[in-house]
Structure 1
Amino acid sequence: MSEKPAILYIDDEEANLLLFRISFEGEREVLVANSPEEGLQKLMENRDRIRAVISDMHMPKMNGVQFIQKAKESVNDIPYFILSGYAYNDEIDQALKDNTIQKFFTKPFNRAEIETHLKEAS
């Protein structure tokens, strides 16, 4: 078992999953899921190890905010973030105000910015 802090990243595009994993795997154990359903499964299976969750916003069947709302029903003691190539919108604004998410990041992502917020949140 890894001693690195684990994070879970959910995105429906394989290239984004690969890029995220390569970018963060040096300091962290990176778990990835290519759908909200798989993300929920991995979160449940690894709930004792995962220290933060980052989700894409636009995915089939369930968007990132909806995924996080569902995930927080079971695991509410870790920080959740949205990473999206789309613009900031009212749903994301409300999720920030409600503390559903801690931060909204844009693609292409800034690794240092995300790492700073992950360290602050843990």
Structure 2
Amino acid sequence: MSEKPAILYIDDEEANLLLFKIAFEGSRDVLVANSPEEGLRTLEENRNRIRAVISDMHMPKMNGVQFIEKAQEQINDIPYFILSGYAFNDEIDQALKENKIQKFFTKPFDRSEIEHHLNGAA
């Protein structure tokens, strides 16, 4: 197992998972999950390595904010972010105000913007 710090990205679209992994893997491990449920399992299994979590907003069964609320029940001392192709909305705004998420990123993502925030976290 690698000793590099890891980030976790959750998205229900396989192409997005692949693009994210290619864009960000290097100095850190990029763990990916294609559902919120898989994301929660991956988070639990790698809790000592994961330094940040980024989630898509629109997914089946639970959205990104709901996923993050559940994930924070497991680990609440790392930063969480939302990455979405959809517009900023009231639920995301509320999550930011309540410090559930640190930042909202839009798709297509700006690698340098996300990297800037991850460097402070991972």
TM-score (norm 2): 0.97
Code of the aligned partner of 1:96: L
Alpha-carbon distance in 1 for matches of 2:121, 2:3: 18
> When the two structures are aligned, how many residues end up with a matched partner?
122
Equivalent pair of 2:4/2:49 in contact (CA under 8 Å): no
Q: What is the deviation of 1:105?
A: 0.2
Aligned to 1:109: 109
Code of the aligned partner of 1:42: T
Aligned to 1:100: 100
2:74 alignment partner, SS class: coil
Code of the aligned partner of 1:29: D
Residue ranges of structure 2 left out of the alignment (5+ in a row):
none
Structure 1 stretches of 4+ with a deviation exceeding 4 A read none
Aligned-pair identity in percent equals: 83
Q: What is the deviation of 1:4?
A: 2.3
Q: What is the deviation of 1:28?
A: 1.5
2:44 alignment partner, SS class: helix
Q: What is the deviation of 1:36?
A: 0.1
Residue ranges of structure 1 left out of the alignment (5+ in a row):
none
2:120 alignment partner, SS class: helix
Q: Deviations over 1:2-34 (max 9, x none)?
A: 232200000000000000000011221000000
Q: How does 1:1-122 map to 2 (within 5 A)?
A: 1-122=1-122
Code of the aligned partner of 1:30: V
1:73 alignment partner, SS class: helix
Alpha-carbon distance in 2 for matches of 1:25, 1:117: 15
